[in-house]
Structure 1
Amino acid sequence: MHGDFSRRTHRPEDHYLAVVSQQGRVLLDAESNEQADLRLSADRSLAADLIGRHGGPGDGFKVAYRAESEGEKASLTIAAGRYYVDGIAVDATRPEAPPAVGAVEGPPPADAREGTGAGPWTYWDQPHAHRDLERDADELPSGPFLAYLRVHDRLVTAVQDPRLRETALGSALPDTTARVRADWQVLPLELAEEQQRDPAAAFAEWVAEQQDRTCRLAARAERPARAEDDPCLVAPDARYRGPENQLYRVEVHRGGVAGEATYKWSRENGSVVLPLTAVDGAWVTLEAMGRDDGLTVDVGDFVEVGDDASVGRGEVFDLPQVVEVDLPGRRVRLSAEPDPTVGRQPAHHPYLRRWDQLERRRRGAPGMEGGAVQLVEGQWLDLEDGVQIHFAPGGRYASGDHWSFAARTLTGAVEWPTDAVGRPLLERPAGVVHHYAPLAWVSGGEALDLRRVFTQLTA
């Protein structure tokens, strides 16, 4: 999650039950967040133990197929209700439009929920997928396919939901807490002809492949040249040299294997995010320039321009550089125009996110591609101020895979798990963690229900 956190302390392997406050002590964001993580983990574990991998009551997420007709693409209808995937409660309920409260003179006010209601979602208007009717790539398969549900947690800040802002605070970007939301998408999966005899089994194999995260990363403080020969050991005098405490985030930008994949990194956990209000060629207008000089953008920064729709579709674009800043106009000029599909609709909450990688011209440093760093395995790579990372050989990387770790000025340490002799351990990515459930096998215009349905205890 790209939040402005001091660090993340929840480690499921520790089996803690609760965070307990002590009198006269400082309460940090990390402890409050760990308590939220513990509660969420306990609730989801209980639900998964009782329900299994997936299941739900009633017609929630029941899928029906609607064939292509004149002027309309083929679609799916997704029934309102609730379904559980790995213990995560996923809600597809559509809000009802509020009833009228009395006569109003003149034109009535616009209803923000007009056109909704309790009816089902469709493949094209499901809330977090942001499908595009104009895109041929978004068409459903013409042959048999399996419709499945994909779920993941997403951090929602005031950039994505302006209602979270408390404008009474008076700052340019009033921002307090964030929220965690379970985003869901119903997607199609085409199977080979031999797999179509048992779609559920084929889907289980596909899910296992998706969740087999083969990539690993380790982090450490830089080892002085005179240290012992073992490159895996952290020398006693290795030290983080940065001026401030930071929470670093290393994130895969483009997926693939080494030689194809690229990564980006941030010393602020990727939390420097500024809402966009307009895009005019290479110029983008920001709602505000950031809270202070360290949490804004400047010439030379690589930035990501995106919105809810591009995130929902899983699109990856090149990262342009900031080449000019117009402070009075709250505008920045980028080295390339953003993708034409991004940032044009305010309802999709367009944003600009800063990343902190820099182009290094010294010999042996990884090159850059599309504003991200080319991923090199099997050697320690410099970030900045003595922070180094190491990708294990043989990894397969997916866009969004990420790792985060704290660096502290008092100890000069990069906080990363080590073994008994001080060697940094190779860790799987912390996310993005996707959860999957089969919903229907669509063939011959019919949808065979693959959900697992249970009745309520009081039914």
Structure 2
Amino acid sequence: MSFDLSRKKFNPLDDYFSVVMQQGRVQTDADWNTLVAQLNRHMQAESLDTFGPSVVPRETADGFLISGSADAIEIGAGRIYVDGLLAENHTDTLKWDARLAEISGTAKLSGANINAAPSGLPGTTAYDAQPYYPNPPALPEGETYLMYVDVWQRDITYLQDASLVDAAVGVDTTTRQQTVWQVKFLDDVGALDPTVTDVEIPGWLETIHPSSARLSTDTGDLTDDDNPCLLPPQAGYKGLENQLYRVQVHDSGPAGTATFKWSRDNAVVSSRISAITGGNNIVVDSLGRDDVLSFHEGDWVEITDDHRDLMGLPGELRRIRLGDGIDSATRTITLEGPALPTGAGNGELPIDGSDQTEPTRNTRIIRWDHAGIVFRENESEYTDLDAATSTGAIEIPAAGTRLFLEKGILVDFDLESVVDEAADFEPEYKTGDYWIFSARVNDASIEQLDRAPPMGIHHHYAKLAIVNGNGITDCRTLWPPEAGGEGCACTICVHPDTHNNGSATIQQAIDQVITQGGGTVCLSVGEYQISQPVRITGQSVTLRGQGWQTRLISRQAMPLIEIGGDESIATDITVEKLFVLTAVAQGFNTAITVNNVIALNLIDCFVINLAVGDATSHGIQFTGLAMLVTVQKCNIAAERGIIGPRLQDEFLGTLNFSLSDCLLSCSTQGISFTGTSFHLGKLDVLHNHIGNADNAGIELTGATLDNTAVAIENNLLTNCQNGIRSGVSNLRILCNDLEMEDDNQDSGHAIAFVEGLDPEDSANQQVIGNRIRHYRGHAITVQAGVGKMMVKQNQLENISGSAFIVEENGSIEYLSLENNQFNDVAGIISAETSTLAAVLLHASVRADITNNVFDGVVRTSHTATIRAGIAVINSGAVRITGNRLLAVTPASYTGYGTGIFMGGRAGDFEVNNNEISRIPQRDGITAERLANAEWKPLYVLMGGGTQRSETASSSIAATGNAPLITVNNRSYAVLATRLLNLSATNNISVNSNCFDGTSGITAAVDIVAPMYCGFIDNEVKSATPMKSELVSLSADHVGANNNRLMSRDDQNILTVQARRYVVMGNMTTGNIIVNSGTASAGAIPLPEPWKSLNIIV
């Protein structure tokens, strides 16, 4: 619509700031309209200069926030300033705003969030229910699109708002200007992020480009004008009335396609249409104010409504029929030409069953004054609007062709070229472009326009959000910026709104401090949408958030932060107090990558990298050089938490590297430095909590160089099927807690020593002070060659495998297994092996197994032929001292069981001060309740010897690399082992032990040794009947002295098979039998003088 004005005089180039009324002067509308225009321009310029192109005030922070989902968009309640114009989404949720003292739909509402459900959240407006956007197009499906707001101002008269007419006056007085907005989308934009420039968004420049239309006005002489007798004495405007002309573009397009129309009264002759009958008969509220400002037969008129105005569509041009086109009695106007398009579709004029128009659409008729023949400046005919083929609009000619309107007025159209080189579109005229200029009788003048741009409609645009299948990325800018405190602590502060809209991003701030030689980039609280990795290089750069509410989020599978690079080393870098979130659906993705750094501090960050399906997610990956690195107080949730090299061509070299006080929830690996990893100086893994890692909680299988110390200390590993896996030297595993859920059935080992990058160098291992519970695999397993090793002061409970085992391909140069507590250890070596052992040692040059407590070991129901508390096979000098083995084997077990077993090619053995019993000291089980079994508290079967008893025979031989234990003519491979080249003399000393053979039906102590067997100061007892001797000793020479041997029966109590022997000072309950080892001698009672030196009690 347009207003009934005399002229429009405001010109910002005049720099006027007020209008001053003088006494006794004529009042005109132009003066006061100029004052209003001055004030409007001042407020708009002030807002634009203060806020910038587009801001949302924090007072209504949800203003125009795009929420919901990609196919159901919601628009948040609130205000937005676009190029200084205030637009407001009130919504249907109204409340009292005390500060503005008004009922408002934008008073600080709780509002929406980007994850909100669609369809009518309180405080939002649905995309398809916008107040100024009737029937918007459907949202795109399956693609990325840009949501933006289009803001402009339109003229409102009483025809559109009847409340402007005061009933007391009865006629219209003033009019209004209204700010309207529409949230629209731009599709086919490809991959977008908030940081891209306008030029990089396909179609955006064309969308926001202002009209290129230009208009010039002049006067000229037209010989056969309407009435040459009325010509004024001078050239110029030839009219007899002061007028305000309006020229307006009707159809969009380039020259030759676009059309225009014009009015001498600013198109104010108009009326509401109440009914449309027969397609061409319209009933109006008024035919006009007087004979001049009214409708006449032959006039060209436009029929339009609010929907067409808001959708940017021109109205329908028709001519009032000559002869009978106006019926004053019924206020009916009959139109020529095709029937008006009535209906409910876009661009159609809705009417009801009685032909009444829809009142809310404000259907109306507007008179235009072009008619008849339109002449060029050279007086040639350009077009005839009275022709039958005329549409009623005048085609805009090419630039330079000047046309007469009337009364000597000339107009010349032109298009301004698009100056942006990146713009890929041609300029054109736009529907609604208009110009107004005054014509005055007194001086025959008209207001001169010189290639003037349109006076309206001026559209203003702001990006709101990027929408795709991954969600919604907010592009708005909030105002004012949050207090940043830029000073000594922060070189540059970045805010979520400026980052997300691309005006001041994190990367831009980092690049700036890098250029300055270093500095601190501080991030305010809020959500930062990351579409490209944040790269940190250079020296002395700190990226600091405010804690977990400083959120860096990527909806794409990519690193959010990249530190260092292939081409240079980043030094003195700190990243702290951030929340980092990303996800991956295919392949692999790492949240934070570190490549070639010196002095990195990664502190107090929360890193989440979600993996979907078969995808793999990493929290933090280190490659290249990682020197003087501290990762502290970080929480990481990913399939693999902190890792080293992943690809074959990657490597990691650390120097003084520390991981401490972190929480890692990782389904595959917690901390993993495998592959080509080298460590120098200190490598500390301290005070971390790692949970749910199936492959390994902590895995270090690279190589340690000289002067390196590796510490895994005070960590808590929960439900990690494989707790700690190491293949490096100089390692301390100290005071860690490793625990699985009690009912967990998955197999895995708590601590495993495996082959590292250098299989020949895995020395100086310490496993001290750890607590291990509920593992279905082994507690501590050696699966590779190890040098010196200490395993001390550990507490183990409910272990299905062995407490300590040297497995196939494993070996130890020297082992100290001391002061450990082993409770409820099932000792299952493997599913394929029928031997159970709480401790299984083989291929060890030297070993001390001292002062350990075994309580309730090898008692599982798992099928087994041999069960041993301690089994030593094919090892060198082994000392087993001061151990207590209680409740060895189940009470109901009837097979072969032993407290200590020694077998294979052996060196010198010592078994001293041990206590071994099958009777538990708990559970209320007494000796009488134990089943009879082949129970031997001590069983020694050293290579090359053979032992026989009344009920069983056993032997050991080396078959290839596998020692075989033969029991009752059945052979069992204990373990495929390494054979050591031993130079020892194969002696065994058994001193000061207490062996309880209760429930055993064979010898409680059964020793077969090639050379010397010393059996001294021991107590051996059995409270149940036996089928053989209590103690059997077989060697080349035997010393059996000062022992106390007590059995329930009077059978032979001790048999000695030796070439030479000393048997004295023993107290027994039965006879002592000796065998010289020759076939002719056979077994005989102990002869004198030895017999008298022993006592039968």
TM-score band (shorter)? 0.7 to 0.9
Measure, in 2, the Cα distance between the counterparts of 1:91 and 1:98: 15
Three-state SS of the structure 2 residue aligned to 1:319 is strand
Tell whether the 8 Å contact from 1:224 to 1:238 is kept in structure 2 after alignment: no
Match of 1:380 in 2: 402
Measure, in 2, the Cα distance between the counterparts of 1:19 and 1:88: 23
Seen in structure 2, the aligned counterparts of structure 1 residues 259 and 284 have a Cα distance that, compared at 3 Å, is same
Measure, in 2, the Cα distance between the counterparts of 1:193 and 1:435: 24
Distance apart, 1:361 and its partner CA:
7.1
TM-score between the two structures when normalised by the length of structure 2:
0.36
Seen in structure 2, the aligned counterparts of structure 1 residues 162 and 317 have a Cα distance that, compared at 3 Å, is closer
Seen in structure 2, the aligned counterparts of structure 1 residues 310 and 195 have a Cα distance that, compared at 3 Å, is same
Q: Does 1:63 align with 2:66?
A: yes
Match of 1:45 in 2: 45
Measure, in 1, the Cα distance between the counterparts of 2:403 and 2:266: 18
Q: Does 1:252 align with 2:249?
A: yes
| CA displacement 1:66-114 (0-9 Å, x = unmatched) | 45xxxxxx43211111010011111101355799xxxxxxxxxxxxxxx
Distance apart, 1:255 and its partner CA:
1.2
One-letter code aligned to 1:59? D
Seen in structure 2, the aligned counterparts of structure 1 residues 259 and 195 have a Cα distance that, compared at 3 Å, is farther
Q: Alignment RMSD, CA only? A: 2.7
Measure, in 2, the Cα distance between the counterparts of 1:301 and 1:224: 22
Matches within 5 A, 1:384-395: 384-392=406-414
Identity of aligned residues (%): 32
Which of structures 1 and 2 has the larger relative contact order (alpha carbons within 8 angstroms, sep 6+)?
A: 1
Measure, in 2, the Cα distance between the counterparts of 1:14 and 1:204: 39
Match of 2:281 in 1: 283
Seen in structure 2, the aligned counterparts of structure 1 residues 89 and 347 have a Cα distance that, compared at 3 Å, is same
Moved more, 196-205 or 378-387: 196-205
Q: Does 1:426 align with 2:451?
A: yes
Seen in structure 2, the aligned counterparts of structure 1 residues 163 and 204 have a Cα distance that, compared at 3 Å, is farther
One-letter code aligned to 1:140? L
Measure, in 2, the Cα distance between the counterparts of 1:194 and 1:79: 25
Three-state SS of the structure 1 residue aligned to 2:129 is coil
One-letter code aligned to 1:426? R
One-letter code aligned to 2:403? L
Distance apart, 1:213 and its partner CA:
3.4
| CA displacement 1:108-138 (0-9 Å, x = unmatched) | xxxxxxxx99631112111111126xxxxx2
Tell whether the 8 Å contact from 1:284 to 1:333 is kept in structure 2 after alignment: yes
Any runs of at least 4 consecutive aligned residues in structure 1 with deviations exceeding 4 A, and if so which? 95-99, 194-200, 455-458
Match of 2:91 in 1: 94
Match of 1:168 in 2: 168
Match of 2:434 in 1: 402
Three-state SS of the structure 1 residue aligned to 2:213 is coil
Moved more, 276-285 or 246-255: 276-285
Moved more, 254-263 or 446-455: 446-455
Distance apart, 1:455 and its partner CA:
4.5
The structure having more radius of gyration, on CA atoms, is 2
| CA displacement 1:42-74 (0-9 Å, x = unmatched) | 11111111111000121100012445xxxxxx4
Distance apart, 1:215 and its partner CA:
2.3
One-letter code aligned to 1:34? T
Match of 1:140 in 2: 139
Seen in structure 2, the aligned counterparts of structure 1 residues 90 and 197 have a Cα distance that, compared at 3 Å, is closer
Tell whether the 8 Å contact from 1:61 to 1:80 is kept in structure 2 after alignment: yes
Seen in structure 2, the aligned counterparts of structure 1 residues 98 and 277 have a Cα distance that, compared at 3 Å, is farther
Q: Does 1:120 align with 2:120?
A: no
Work out which of the residue numbers 346, 349, 357 in structure 1 matches 2:362. Answer: 349
Measure, in 1, the Cα distance between the counterparts of 2:307 and 2:463: 24
Measure, in 1, the Cα distance between the counterparts of 2:237 and 2:367: 22
Measure, in 1, the Cα distance between the counterparts of 2:191 and 2:94: 46
Match of 1:371 in 2: 392
Measure, in 2, the Cα distance between the counterparts of 1:455 and 1:198: 20
Tell whether the 8 Å contact from 1:301 to 1:354 is kept in structure 2 after alignment: yes
Seen in structure 2, the aligned counterparts of structure 1 residues 120 and 28 have a Cα distance that, compared at 3 Å, is same
Distance apart, 1:179 and its partner CA:
0.7
Q: Does 1:27 align with 2:31?
A: no
Measure, in 2, the Cα distance between the counterparts of 1:238 and 1:322: 34
Distance apart, 1:454 and its partner CA:
2.2
Tell whether the 8 Å contact from 1:302 to 1:354 is kept in structure 2 after alignment: yes
Tell whether the 8 Å contact from 1:149 to 1:438 is kept in structure 2 after alignment: yes
Three-state SS of the structure 2 residue aligned to 1:294 is coil
Match of 1:111 in 2: none
Matches within 5 A, 1:287-306: 287-306=285-304
Tell whether the 8 Å contact from 2:189 to 2:203 is kept in structure 1 after alignment: no
Q: Does 1:444 align with 2:469?
A: yes
Seen in structure 2, the aligned counterparts of structure 1 residues 3 and 207 have a Cα distance that, compared at 3 Å, is farther
Seen in structure 2, the aligned counterparts of structure 1 residues 343 and 413 have a Cα distance that, compared at 3 Å, is farther
Tell whether the 8 Å contact from 2:77 to 2:124 is kept in structure 1 after alignment: yes
Matches within 5 A, 1:191-340: 191-193=188-190, 201=198, 202-203=200-201, 206-207=204-205, 210-223=208-221, 237-280=234-277, 281-323=279-321, 324-335=325-336, 336-340=338-342
Seen in structure 2, the aligned counterparts of structure 1 residues 21 and 118 have a Cα distance that, compared at 3 Å, is farther
Tell whether the 8 Å contact from 1:95 to 1:117 is kept in structure 2 after alignment: no
Measure, in 1, the Cα distance between the counterparts of 2:189 and 2:482: 40
One-letter code aligned to 1:121? T
Seen in structure 2, the aligned counterparts of structure 1 residues 49 and 205 have a Cα distance that, compared at 3 Å, is farther
Measure, in 1, the Cα distance between the counterparts of 2:122 and 2:28: 42
Three-state SS of the structure 2 residue aligned to 1:271 is coil
Measure, in 2, the Cα distance between the counterparts of 1:270 and 1:91: 29
Distance apart, 1:445 and its partner CA:
6.0
Distance apart, 1:271 and its partner CA:
1.6
Q: Does 1:75 align with 2:107?
A: no
Moved more, 377-386 or 258-267: 377-386
Tell whether the 8 Å contact from 1:66 to 1:445 is kept in structure 2 after alignment: no
Measure, in 1, the Cα distance between the counterparts of 2:201 and 2:167: 47
Measure, in 1, the Cα distance between the counterparts of 2:76 and 2:191: 30
Seen in structure 2, the aligned counterparts of structure 1 residues 91 and 97 have a Cα distance that, compared at 3 Å, is closer
Measure, in 1, the Cα distance between the counterparts of 2:86 and 2:268: 27
Work out which of the residue numbers 432, 435, 438 in structure 1 matches 2:460. Answer: 435
Measure, in 2, the Cα distance between the counterparts of 1:20 and 1:203: 48
Distance apart, 1:329 and its partner CA:
0.5
Greater strand percent: which structure? Answer: 2
Tell whether the 8 Å contact from 2:66 to 2:465 is kept in structure 1 after alignment: yes
Number of matched residues?
412
Measure, in 2, the Cα distance between the counterparts of 1:54 and 1:204: 20
Distance apart, 1:10 and its partner CA:
0.8
TM-score between the two structures when normalised by the length of structure 1:
0.83
Measure, in 2, the Cα distance between the counterparts of 1:286 and 1:241: 33
Distance apart, 1:350 and its partner CA:
1.0
| CA displacement 1:165-223 (0-9 Å, x = unmatched) | 123224xxx21100111110001111443767965534598347643433221112224
Tell whether the 8 Å contact from 1:144 to 1:441 is kept in structure 2 after alignment: yes
Distance apart, 1:433 and its partner CA:
0.6
Tell whether the 8 Å contact from 2:151 to 2:461 is kept in structure 1 after alignment: yes
Distance apart, 1:411 and its partner CA:
1.1
Three-state SS of the structure 2 residue aligned to 1:25 is coil
Greater helix percent: which structure? Answer: 1
